[in-house]
Structure 1
Amino acid sequence: MDILFDPNINRLSNMELCRLYMDEFIKSKERAMMLDGEAYYRVDNPEIMSRKMYRYQENKGTGAIEKIEDKAKPNNKRAHGFMHVLIEDKVNYLLSKQYTLACKGADDYLKLVQDTIGKMFQEKRLMKLGVKSSNGGISWLHPYINEDGAFKTMIIPPEQGIPLWHDNDHEELDGFIYFYDLEMIEGKEQKTITRVELWLPDGVAYYISDSEGEGWDLKLDSERYLNAVSEDGEIIEHFVAGGTPNVWEKVPFIPFKNNDYELSDLKFIKSLIDAYDKSRSNVANIFDEVSSTIFALKGYGGEDLGQFMRDLNYFRAISIDADESAGVEAINSSLDITALKEDFEALKKDIYDFGQGVDKNSDKLGNSPSGIALKFIYSGLDLKCNRMENAFKEGLEQLFWFVNRYLELTGKGSYFEKEIDITFNRDIAINESQAITDCQNSVGIISDETIMENHPWTKSVKEEKKRMEEQEKEREEREKTVTDMLSENGAPGLEGDDT
């Protein structure tokens, strides 16, 4: 679904706009995929978890064949966490290590930015954004200023946000609709209400709805307007800073895209995961049933096959007609385990191949793969991470704009002309012994700093350089102390020696 902010549609009131866009978004395939992505990540795979077993029987009144749910039939629901594993590997590979920010000749500015964003931004926000965007194709970060005047950020789930794009490339926002449900107690009853927020560059409007569906019975959320400053009674300021109402001058929602097409990782492997879940669950059902044996009935005196299976399972016996030809013959059937295993392995391989992940149980990894082999094995994951890395850099650049706006509003200076270079440090799998040997062999060929960056034990080049400088300083002080002691004691060959 591609929602652009059409000037012609904009002739509608803000409430009507929200109703129109929400009706379209709620029913869209894109939102359905967002919800499925979250469910598969949590291993609540809807395709298998919602499966029911049926039987067909004749309606004795009409003679028609009816499909009836059979709750007595085994219905194993084996949901497999491929989506969870693939996304955890991807997010940890790209985002778990501290990213590096650089701004030439502006260390003080960088410190202001990092202090404003907060130390826990990467662990609490960036990695969660990575998971959400992988599940839903896109995730949203909402910068805001709290009651204490501090800069904060909040993650908006993709299924709760409707971007009103200015362009087809989805690079600029004209508006954003954020909606979410709240459980409330009204009198003695518990009810669900929907809060709707329409964010524009020059302000925000707050609505509330008691009903869901086409039309959305929206009305102004009176609680939000108690202390607000509004010129038209509906659009109010974004925040209050230093006791003064103000606005960001941009829509304060930042997209963090999974890829250029804003597609969920589930899109590429959903049918394969569903096939794997269904196949494994069916095999479990077969093992749970007495269906490894087929019975040929002759002169069976029961009413139907259902009664036959109930009598057999409960009494371990059945009654047959008093006829010479009557009897029960068991015909054994067996599962082709080899064929099933081959099918499972083929599906599993396809899931990792098309999901661009790394199957850590694969024979390709071996005991100690070389650096070249590891690069080949991780090539698919690298390509997938490249798309996310580019999109996340754009997201961080937009975040820095809001940080600059905050610094300007709080009187800490104007830094909009500053450009920050962002480097994501991937948690690359390496052959550690080989990497250390390569570093030793590179001494004198490349700079010590480059060697330090590529050493597997280096967590932070800046911190490591600081430690080495301190270590060198301590060594020099020890040498100086020893020299001074020898000099005072008149050691041979040193100043002060009377020999």
Structure 2
Amino acid sequence: MESVISGKALMTKNNTFIYDKDNDISADDLSAMISKNESLSNDYNRDYNYYVGNHKVLKGRRNKLRPDNRIVANIASELVDTFTGYFMGIPPKITLDDDTQNDNLQHWLDMNSFQDKLAEVSKQSDIYGRSYMLLYQDEQANTKVAVLPPTNAFMIYDDTVEQLPLAFVRYGRDAETNEINGTLYTAAEIKSFSGNGVFTDSQINVFQNVPAIEFFNNEERLSLIDKVNTLIDAYDKALSQKANQVEYFDNAYLKILGMQLPKDKNGNVKLDMLGNQIIYSPDNMNGNVDVGFLEKPDGDVMQENYLNRLIDNIYQVSMVSNLRDEAFSGNSSGVAIQYKMLPMQNMAATKERKFTQALRNLLAVGFKLGTIAEVPEDELYSALKFKFTRNMPRNDADEAATAATLNGIVSKETQLSVLSIVDDPKKEIERMQEEEKDGILQNIDIQNQAMKNMEGAEDEKNTEEQA
């Protein structure tokens, strides 16, 4: 279902902007979409605060009459970092079939620190639910890539069934005037705007495509934190109350009943030596002496069960494996661990499909300009190959055994791709061929030297016989 923002600007239920493809984006509609994205930024900033540890439990007026600890167990950060490390800890292998094209592609990826930026995109999509990569030309006409969060950028899709990128918006607020200014990227041009979406100047878009791509984990644009923020709030509150109770017990009152304490020369009992948390009465109705601390209700078992249940629910709902859980201790087999991590593997498989499509579209835009690698247009999508590897404790012996089993069954490149220690199968094949070539040349040299030695010995023998 779509809702109207302004004029021809619409928004879908997953907070995606839609616009009529047959009309230019007007200044009023652009201003309305920016205002809408700024309202969405409240949710984005809330998720970011969860990630950095600025949780809800830290806010609000403090109680000065009793212990009021505010403790944050930053589980949100652990969820995001664990899943990002699992999914992107081992950089994906992005290759082209043609050797020359592949060399150019690898050079461009290295020059742009692309793997690092891809890891940042992955982390942002886990925090916010979406993130963007923007291609641009620097002053030396080199194609560069930048990572942008959804707090100050958004994509506008057309209103067709394919919902193709129609425009990309990047904006910010002036520190002095608080006025919005930014840039609108379309396939034809790049336009600057200021104020309420008023366009100031424009230039030709050399990419001839919208030079930005949206990355997301799922179609709902749901982040890891969105799934469990209420559970995290409950855990922080319960943990803080636990600390309050511990402090409350430390401040227990001492009761002294039916016992006469020594007095000073003025006839006053010296209670200040024992502290100010004392209940003292020399008279006791029962006539018995009663000295001890007042006992308070102890809900330790209930609290611990509650905290453990919250932790279990947080990891189950987020589908991120709790690597500190007892299930991962001991000598579990690799297959057993994989079953325990199956929910996270399923989530990563969905994210991999989304990221593969986004990467393919991003690189296709750069290829058309010819600055990354010159790939024919009809081969733009088929020539690109992506290999994602989950970052798990690896068993080199098992991988080597698997690779050896594949010998003669699949191509050498596919055989080497199962080895996590091989970053680029194509390069590895080239190195193997070079080593084989060097080995052959070495053998030839050895044989030639042996032949020379034999010829020399034969000549020496003939000389001796003639003598």
TM-score (norm. length: structure 1)? 0.72
Aligned pair partner of 2:447 in 466, 483, 499: 483
Q: Which residue of 1 aligns with 2:261?
A: none
Closer/same/farther in 2, CA of residues 251 and 282 from structure 1, 3 Å limit: same
Q: Which residue of 2 aligns with 1:395?
A: 358
- In 2, Cα distance between the equivalents of 1:473 and 1:413? 30
- In 1, Cα distance between the equivalents of 2:414 and 2:141? 41
Query: Could you tell me whether the CA contact under 8 Å between 2:251 and 2:277 is conserved in 1?
Result: no
Closer/same/farther in 2, CA of residues 23 and 444 from structure 1, 3 Å limit: closer
Match of 1:364, SS state, is helix
Query: Could you tell me whether the CA contact under 8 Å between 2:181 and 2:194 is conserved in 1?
Result: yes
The alpha carbon displacement at 1:362 in A equals 2.0
One-letter code aligned to 1:48: V
Listed as ranges, the gaps of 5+ residues in structure 1 are 54-69, 185-190, 210-217, 221-233, 239-244, 299-310
Q: Which residue of 1 aligns with 2:8?
A: none
Q: Report the count of equivalent residues.
A: 430
One-letter code aligned to 2:432: M
Q: String of CA shifts for 1:301-339, please: whole Å, max 9, x gaps.
A: xxxxxxxxxx999952569899988x9995312534333
Query: Could you tell me whether the CA contact under 8 Å between 1:101 and 1:421 is conserved in 2?
Result: yes
- Is residue 50 of structure 2 the alignment partner of residue 40 of structure 1? yes
The alpha carbon displacement at 1:138 in A equals 1.0
Closer/same/farther in 2, CA of residues 248 and 486 from structure 1, 3 Å limit: closer
- In 1, Cα distance between the equivalents of 2:160 and 2:291? 70
- In 2, Cα distance between the equivalents of 1:395 and 1:314? 70
Match of 2:350, SS state, is helix
Q: RMSD in angstroms over aligned alpha carbons?
A: 4.1
- Is residue 411 of structure 2 the alignment partner of residue 461 of structure 1? no
Q: Which residue of 2 aligns with 1:227?
A: none
- Is residue 154 of structure 2 the alignment partner of residue 195 of structure 1? no
- In 2, Cα distance between the equivalents of 1:371 and 1:248? 46
Query: Could you tell me whether the CA contact under 8 Å between 1:293 and 1:331 is conserved in 2?
Result: yes
Q: String of CA shifts for 1:340-387, please: whole Å, max 9, x gaps.
A: 333222222222222122222222223343232132122112111122
Match of 1:183, SS state, is coil
Query: Could you tell me whether the CA contact under 8 Å between 2:143 and 2:372 is conserved in 1?
Result: no
Aligned pair partner of 1:86 in 61, 79, 90: 79
One-letter code aligned to 2:416: M
Q: String of CA shifts for 1:476-499, please: whole Å, max 9, x gaps.
A: 34444443444333399x998969
Q: Which residue of 2 aligns with 1:276?
A: 235
- In 2, Cα distance between the equivalents of 1:168 and 1:282? 53
Match of 2:328, SS state, is coil
Q: Which residue of 1 aligns with 2:39?
A: 27
- In 1, Cα distance between the equivalents of 2:21 and 2:414? 56
- In 2, Cα distance between the equivalents of 1:386 and 1:411? 28
Listed as ranges, the gaps of 5+ residues in structure 2 are 1-10, 258-270, 463-467
Query: Could you tell me whether the CA contact under 8 Å between 2:50 and 2:76 is conserved in 1?
Result: yes
Q: Which residue of 1 aligns with 2:58?
A: 49
TM-score (norm. length: structure 2)? 0.77
**Stretch moving more, 3-12 or 87-96:** 3-12
Q: Which residue of 2 aligns with 1:60?
A: none
Closer/same/farther in 2, CA of residues 315 and 96 from structure 1, 3 Å limit: closer
- In 2, Cα distance between the equivalents of 1:312 and 1:343? 40
Query: Could you tell me whether the CA contact under 8 Å between 1:269 and 1:355 is conserved in 2?
Result: yes
Aligned pair partner of 1:416 in 364, 377, 380: 377
The alpha carbon displacement at 1:417 in A equals 1.7
Q: Which residue of 2 aligns with 1:262?
A: 221
The alpha carbon displacement at 1:433 in A equals 4.0
Of all paired residues, the percent bearing the same amino acid is 17
Query: Could you tell me whether the CA contact under 8 Å between 2:154 and 2:168 is conserved in 1?
Result: yes
Match of 1:237, SS state, is strand
